[in-house]
Structure 1
Amino acid sequence: MRTPAVQSVLFVGGKRTEALEAARTAGLQVIYLGRLGDMSDRHRQLADAAFLFPEFSPELALGSAVALHAFLPFDLAYTTGDAYLRIAAQINDRLGLKSNPLHTVRAVDDKALMREVLRGKPVGQVASAEVRNRTDLEHFATANGFPLILKPSRGSASKDIHVISDATSLADTARTAFTEGDTAEDAAPWVAEELLDGREFSVETHSAAGEHQILAVTEKFKNEHCVEIGHVVPARVTAAEHTLLADETRSVLTALGVEEGPAHTELILTARGPRLIETHTRPGGDAIVELIKIATGHDIHGLTFAWLSGKPADAPFEPSAAAAAIWFRTTGPGRVTAAGGEAAARTGEGVLFASLSAAVGDVVREARSSDDRCGEALAVGDDADTALRRAQAAVGRLVVEVEPLDAG
């Protein structure tokens, strides 16, 4: 049974406005609840009402939304930001509004809990365990061997991900990740997993009444610190591989209880078949939404709010190019002494966008999280190889020169 059509949406937090624009296009009332510093002129143009706070905590968001609903009712709380996914789910749960169940969003938001929920379900299994101290990590390594990966259970943006290859690197990582004297009760949770070997992809979907529509398969590229440095749509896979990735994604989403809206599911295609890294009940980041729109014609935000407003989830679409890719500039560490090349990057064939975020005087770091990237370029082509080559060439024209911080 499809979700009853909504007329008003409460957007919780976030600086981006694409989802708000899609809601307005679908004819919905838009209410914004968030931090004062995140409110832009475009937010003001799109929002019928806005409630802003200098600081914005989960407790404040929940209490404010419940109070707001009493005199300005809304049919759904929605967000596209990782930081607010659980808050929006709590609002919907407290007010009895139809959305993905709270237990589903909690599992998606907590990588260790997600693995527990999926354990024994009809999906590809991955060896994993929640760990809170060095002893837990050593036990996992003894049981499962090296290499393994350690990451925060509720992390995002590829931050604090550690690849552990042997006992020496385990000891080094433990000194960084765990505070001496932590007990299982007071330490922040991490999750240890077997290190999956294979090519990495994400599958972009829209779910409607529990049916999961595959919109695209994205091919992903990472550096040695597991930070994403590029994406291309469509992924360079065979028809059989596409089917494997699509089927595993549907199985994962069903096992987790995802019922409504967009999802971004990251997998590695191993020799044993696809294995889940993580999934999110939101669209993909890093301009993946734009890549999909260009290369497949699917507008994820438009599809989401068309469905919510009562329209079919199978609207016609028309791609504008056969393939689209984005590539990121990385550098560092050090202080930026020269930066530029954006105009040259934009002149490349098929380049739609190129931007540099580093400026002279900035301190930049080696790319150990998505926040450490300092430029990007998006390009299109007649095939995935061409789009990738053009995006990489454009990024190569972005100039970022650095000197060591201890240089005289």
Structure 2
Amino acid sequence: MTGLLWPGDHRAGDAFSDASVVAAAVRVESVWLSALGEIGVAPRFADGIVDEAGAALADDAEIAALAAAGENAGNPIVPLLSRLRDLLADRDPDAARWLHAGLTSQDVLDTALMIVTRDTVRAIRAELDGVITALAGHLDRHRSTPMIGRTLTQPAVEITAGVKIAAWCDGVLDADDDLTALRFPASLSGAAGSRSGTVALGVAAPRDLADTVAAGLGLATTHPWHTTRAPITRAADALQGCTAALGRIATDVITGSRPEIGEFTEPTAAGRGGSSAMPQKVNPVLSVLIRRTALTAPALAALIHTAAADAGDERPPGAWHVEWEPLQSLARHTLAAARQAAELTAGLQIHADAMAGRVARHRDDIDAEHRTLGRLVGRDDIDARGDADAIVDATLTRIRQREDHP
């Protein structure tokens, strides 16, 4: 995954890569086969035999071959199984025959997607830790810094930088809450979602077997969800919400970093922000790329919801297939944006003098509401900062509570 047309994709690393999906699918098959052996339905095979055989599939050429072969079956699990059986047959022909017994390709792919989504969400939350810590520091330093509050692009009333930063932070905290609330269930219900294959193998308690395998994979248990796509749509919503929270910060930084405003400056790095034609420019590239992600994410989430709405029968033709790539893109893009945002907020320069100077220049305009309300109540001593201190304190309390109960 080169990411040529998605600058910054490299920041997502191996998260939700094709290789990670293949590795997760192999792990699902391995834990399932071991569980069948544990309950005496299948022979007990050497520990790790499936994982060892599947390690060969991490090769780039192998993954490319699986991707091409997936066209014939409509999903990558069918050719993966064929290749994995070949690799297993060299070690233990019985293991090759028992591989995947009682499962269907949707079980394996859906469960693998839950594994890699869970891992990516963990990585995103780790980056949000850095964003929140950085914003808390800015809150402490600039809680009382006066600045202009803008509505519909125009000066409105005086606020403080603390109020603005608190709003940024509350958005990130909300996004983190949504990511934390996600559940990642295994999908182990067989060909048509009834666990009929498991029953046919002679498993006395199919749900218990599914629960055991889910626990072995570090996943939650649930009812069959082949055509009940809430685990996917909820993940998409939480990821999209995260990009929106980060995008709001980026949009404010873009506006505030205009030279004629000069309230914010992005952290610098060698070669960053340059122009191919104008050598004097230093563009706010981190914010631009974060905003790009925030603008792209809703369409990806909407596509996943559209697919869920069309998930009929016991396995949908086409709608299920729609989900995979948008979920991968959404997860990787969100992680890259979170890492960009962690760098942005840690190194963000907030120019209090520029903020205060602009407040002074626009004093007559931004005090208009206070003058009007002051006449209404017979006062001329209205605090222009409003409830700014309480707003900042409430956000700082949320941050401390999160630290106490991660």
Shorter-chain TM-score: what band? Answer: under 0.3
Query: Which structure's residues are more often helix, by fraction?
Result: 2
Query: Which structure's residues are more often strand, by fraction?
Result: 1
| Higher RCO (CA 8 Å, separation ≥ 6 residues) | 2
Bigger Rg, structure 1 or 2: 2
